[in-house]
Amino acid sequence: MAEAAAHVIVIRHGAYHQRAGVPSARQPFALTDEGRAQARACADLVAAMVAAHGLRLAPVVMSSHQLRAWQTAHEICDALPDLERVEETGALAERGLGSAANLTVPEIEAVLRDDPRHDPAPAGWKSDSDYRLPLEGAESLMEAGARVAAHLQAAAARAVPGTVSLHVGHGASLRHGCHHLGLLTRDRIAALSMFHARPLLLCYNGHDRWSHLAGDWKVRGRDEAPID
Protein backbone atom coordinates (compact mmCIF):
# COMPACT_ATOMS: atom_id res chain seq x y z
CA MET A 1 0.00 0.00 0.00
CA ALA A 2 1.41 3.40 -1.00
CA GLU A 3 2.19 5.87 1.77
CA ALA A 4 0.54 9.27 1.56
CA ALA A 5 2.83 12.20 0.81
CA ALA A 6 3.64 14.42 3.80
CA HIS A 7 5.04 17.94 3.78
CA VAL A 8 7.23 19.98 6.10
CA ILE A 9 8.73 23.45 5.82
CA VAL A 10 12.11 24.09 7.43
CA ILE A 11 13.23 27.62 8.29
CA ARG A 12 16.48 28.98 9.62
CA HIS A 13 16.03 31.68 12.28
CA GLY A 14 16.47 35.38 11.46
CA ALA A 15 19.62 37.43 12.06
CA TYR A 16 20.47 37.77 15.74
CA HIS A 17 22.86 39.36 18.22
CA GLN A 18 25.75 36.92 17.89
CA ARG A 19 28.80 37.12 20.14
CA ALA A 20 31.88 37.60 17.97
CA GLY A 21 34.19 34.64 17.58
CA VAL A 22 31.78 32.12 19.08
CA PRO A 23 30.67 29.12 17.02
CA SER A 24 27.09 29.78 15.98
CA ALA A 25 25.42 27.16 18.12
CA ARG A 26 23.35 27.66 21.25
CA GLN A 27 23.95 31.32 21.97
CA PRO A 28 21.05 32.72 24.03
CA PHE A 29 20.64 36.07 22.30
CA ALA A 30 17.64 37.70 20.62
CA LEU A 31 16.89 38.63 17.03
CA THR A 32 18.14 41.95 15.73
CA ASP A 33 15.67 44.39 14.20
CA GLU A 34 16.73 43.00 10.83
CA GLY A 35 16.03 39.50 12.06
CA ARG A 36 12.53 40.44 13.18
CA ALA A 37 11.86 41.99 9.77
CA GLN A 38 13.15 38.83 8.08
CA ALA A 39 10.81 36.71 10.20
CA ARG A 40 7.80 38.87 9.34
CA ALA A 41 8.68 38.68 5.65
CA CYS A 42 9.01 34.92 6.00
CA ALA A 43 5.32 34.69 6.87
CA ASP A 44 4.42 36.06 3.44
CA LEU A 45 6.81 33.61 1.77
CA VAL A 46 5.27 30.71 3.69
CA ALA A 47 1.73 31.77 2.78
CA ALA A 48 2.63 32.01 -0.92
CA MET A 49 4.44 28.67 -0.87
CA VAL A 50 1.57 26.89 0.83
CA ALA A 51 -0.99 28.35 -1.58
CA ALA A 52 1.13 27.50 -4.64
CA HIS A 53 1.23 23.83 -3.63
CA GLY A 54 -2.41 23.53 -2.56
CA LEU A 55 -1.58 22.82 1.07
CA ARG A 56 -2.96 23.91 4.44
CA LEU A 57 -0.90 24.97 7.42
CA ALA A 58 -0.81 22.64 10.40
CA PRO A 59 -1.70 24.75 13.46
CA VAL A 60 1.49 24.24 15.50
CA VAL A 61 4.87 25.77 14.64
CA MET A 62 7.82 23.83 16.01
CA SER A 63 10.92 25.70 17.20
CA SER A 64 14.20 24.98 18.89
CA HIS A 65 14.72 26.30 22.43
CA GLN A 66 17.13 28.99 21.22
CA LEU A 67 15.59 32.45 21.60
CA ARG A 68 16.31 33.50 18.02
CA ALA A 69 14.39 30.51 16.63
CA TRP A 70 11.52 30.92 19.11
CA GLN A 71 11.17 34.62 18.21
CA THR A 72 11.25 33.81 14.49
CA ALA A 73 8.55 31.19 14.98
CA HIS A 74 6.37 33.62 16.94
CA GLU A 75 6.70 36.36 14.33
CA ILE A 76 5.50 33.89 11.70
CA CYS A 77 2.77 32.49 13.94
CA ASP A 78 1.42 35.96 14.76
CA ALA A 79 1.24 36.89 11.08
CA LEU A 80 -0.64 33.84 9.76
CA PRO A 81 -4.19 33.25 11.07
CA ASP A 82 -4.12 29.47 10.53
CA LEU A 83 -1.26 29.10 12.99
CA GLU A 84 -2.28 28.71 16.63
CA ARG A 85 0.85 28.34 18.75
CA VAL A 86 4.57 27.65 18.93
CA GLU A 87 5.95 24.55 20.59
CA GLU A 88 9.62 24.12 21.47
CA THR A 89 11.77 21.02 21.06
CA GLY A 90 15.41 20.29 21.69
CA ALA A 91 15.39 18.16 18.53
CA LEU A 92 15.70 21.28 16.37
CA ALA A 93 18.70 22.75 18.21
CA GLU A 94 21.98 23.62 16.56
CA ARG A 95 24.99 21.35 17.09
CA GLY A 96 25.75 21.16 20.81
CA LEU A 97 29.25 22.03 22.04
CA GLY A 98 28.60 20.64 25.50
CA SER A 99 30.66 22.18 28.29
CA ALA A 100 32.29 24.49 25.74
CA ALA A 101 28.99 26.17 24.87
CA ASN A 102 29.38 29.89 24.09
CA LEU A 103 33.16 29.96 24.43
CA THR A 104 35.06 31.51 21.53
CA VAL A 105 36.95 29.34 19.07
CA PRO A 106 40.35 30.35 20.59
CA GLU A 107 39.02 29.63 24.09
CA ILE A 108 37.82 26.18 23.05
CA GLU A 109 41.14 25.40 21.40
CA ALA A 110 42.98 26.58 24.52
CA VAL A 111 40.85 24.28 26.70
CA LEU A 112 41.88 21.30 24.61
CA ARG A 113 45.56 22.33 24.57
CA ASP A 114 45.58 22.69 28.34
CA ASP A 115 43.84 19.39 29.07
CA PRO A 116 46.32 16.48 28.92
CA ARG A 117 43.48 14.05 28.22
CA HIS A 118 42.75 15.53 24.79
CA ASP A 119 44.47 16.06 21.48
CA PRO A 120 44.49 19.58 20.06
CA ALA A 121 41.51 20.48 17.91
CA PRO A 122 42.27 19.73 14.23
CA ALA A 123 42.39 22.55 11.70
CA GLY A 124 38.91 23.40 10.45
CA TRP A 125 37.23 21.49 13.25
CA LYS A 126 34.32 23.91 13.48
CA SER A 127 32.95 22.97 10.05
CA ASP A 128 34.10 19.31 10.05
CA SER A 129 30.88 17.31 9.83
CA ASP A 130 32.24 14.34 11.76
CA TYR A 131 34.35 15.99 14.45
CA ARG A 132 32.95 16.05 17.96
CA LEU A 133 34.66 18.02 20.68
CA PRO A 134 35.96 15.59 23.34
CA LEU A 135 33.98 17.43 25.99
CA GLU A 136 30.96 16.37 27.99
CA GLY A 137 27.69 16.92 26.16
CA ALA A 138 29.21 17.76 22.77
CA GLU A 139 27.96 16.33 19.48
CA SER A 140 29.18 16.38 15.90
CA LEU A 141 27.34 18.14 13.10
CA MET A 142 26.37 14.75 11.68
CA GLU A 143 24.93 13.72 15.05
CA ALA A 144 22.99 16.98 15.22
CA GLY A 145 21.70 16.34 11.72
CA ALA A 146 20.55 12.84 12.65
CA ARG A 147 18.59 14.35 15.53
CA VAL A 148 16.92 16.88 13.22
CA ALA A 149 16.21 14.22 10.59
CA ALA A 150 14.51 11.99 13.16
CA HIS A 151 12.34 14.94 14.22
CA LEU A 152 11.28 15.65 10.63
CA GLN A 153 10.62 11.97 9.95
CA ALA A 154 8.37 11.83 13.01
CA ALA A 155 6.55 14.98 11.87
CA ALA A 156 5.95 13.42 8.45
CA ALA A 157 4.67 10.21 10.03
CA ARG A 158 1.99 12.03 12.01
CA ALA A 159 1.07 14.59 9.36
CA VAL A 160 -2.52 15.02 8.24
CA PRO A 161 -2.66 14.62 4.44
CA GLY A 162 -2.78 17.97 2.66
CA THR A 163 -1.21 19.89 5.52
CA VAL A 164 2.31 21.22 6.01
CA SER A 165 4.04 21.83 9.33
CA LEU A 166 6.63 24.53 10.05
CA HIS A 167 9.94 23.79 11.78
CA VAL A 168 12.22 26.67 12.78
CA GLY A 169 15.79 25.75 13.57
CA HIS A 170 19.38 26.39 12.60
CA GLY A 171 21.35 26.31 9.39
CA ALA A 172 24.03 23.70 10.09
CA SER A 173 21.86 21.14 11.84
CA LEU A 174 19.08 21.58 9.25
CA ARG A 175 21.53 21.06 6.37
CA HIS A 176 22.99 17.96 7.98
CA GLY A 177 19.46 16.77 8.69
CA CYS A 178 18.66 17.10 4.99
CA HIS A 179 21.76 15.04 4.24
CA HIS A 180 20.43 12.25 6.46
CA LEU A 181 17.11 12.44 4.61
CA GLY A 182 18.89 11.95 1.30
CA LEU A 183 18.30 15.52 0.09
CA LEU A 184 21.92 16.71 0.12
CA THR A 185 25.04 14.79 -0.80
CA ARG A 186 27.92 15.09 1.60
CA ASP A 187 29.86 17.53 -0.57
CA ARG A 188 26.83 19.78 -0.90
CA ILE A 189 26.52 20.29 2.86
CA ALA A 190 29.54 22.61 2.94
CA ALA A 191 28.77 24.18 -0.45
CA LEU A 192 25.37 25.41 0.71
CA SER A 193 23.98 27.51 3.51
CA MET A 194 20.48 28.72 4.37
CA PHE A 195 19.11 32.22 4.04
CA HIS A 196 17.85 33.73 7.27
CA ALA A 197 14.10 33.19 7.61
CA ARG A 198 13.52 31.80 4.12
CA PRO A 199 11.38 28.64 3.89
CA LEU A 200 12.29 25.37 2.21
CA LEU A 201 9.42 23.00 1.38
CA LEU A 202 10.25 19.31 1.73
CA CYS A 203 8.06 16.35 0.86
CA TYR A 204 8.16 12.83 2.24
CA ASN A 205 7.11 10.55 -0.61
CA GLY A 206 7.02 7.27 1.28
CA HIS A 207 9.50 4.38 1.40
CA ASP A 208 12.19 6.59 2.97
CA ARG A 209 12.23 8.95 -0.02
CA TRP A 210 12.26 12.74 0.41
CA SER A 211 12.26 15.53 -2.16
CA HIS A 212 12.91 19.28 -2.08
CA LEU A 213 9.88 20.96 -3.66
CA ALA A 214 10.41 24.70 -3.25
CA GLY A 215 12.59 27.40 -1.74
CA ASP A 216 16.24 28.14 -2.43
CA TRP A 217 19.41 27.09 -0.70
CA LYS A 218 22.04 29.78 -0.32
CA VAL A 219 25.13 28.94 -2.35
CA ARG A 220 28.34 29.79 -0.52
CA GLY A 221 30.95 31.94 -2.24
CA ARG A 222 34.21 30.24 -3.13
CA ASP A 223 36.08 31.96 -0.29
CA GLU A 224 33.16 32.18 2.12
CA ALA A 225 33.89 30.50 5.43
CA PRO A 226 31.05 28.57 7.09
CA ILE A 227 29.53 30.57 9.94
CA ASP A 228 26.77 28.11 10.85
In a domain, 13, yes or no: yes
In a domain, 227, yes or no: no
Secondary structure tally for the chain: helices H, strands E: 6, 8
Residue 113 inside a domain? The answer is: no
Q: Is residue 169 part of a domain?
A: yes
Confirm whether 186 is domain-assigned.
yes
Average pLDDT for the chain? 94
Structural domain containing residue 176:
6-97+139-219
Within a domain: 130: no
Is the separation of the CB atoms in 140 and 127 below 8 Å? Answer: no
Q: Is 175 within the bounds of a domain?
A: yes
Identity at 119, one-letter amino acid code:
D
Amino acid at position 226, single letter: P
Total number of domains in the chain: 1
Instruction: Give pLDDT, residue 1.
Output: 44
Mean pLDDT of 190-196: 96
Please report the pLDDT score of residue 2 as a whole number.
53
- Domain-embedded: residue 106: no
Q: In the predicted model, is pLDDT for residue 47 greater than 60?
A: yes
The pLDDT assigned to 181 comes to 98
pLDDT exceeds cutoff 80 at 126: yes
**CATH number for 34:** 3.40.50.1240
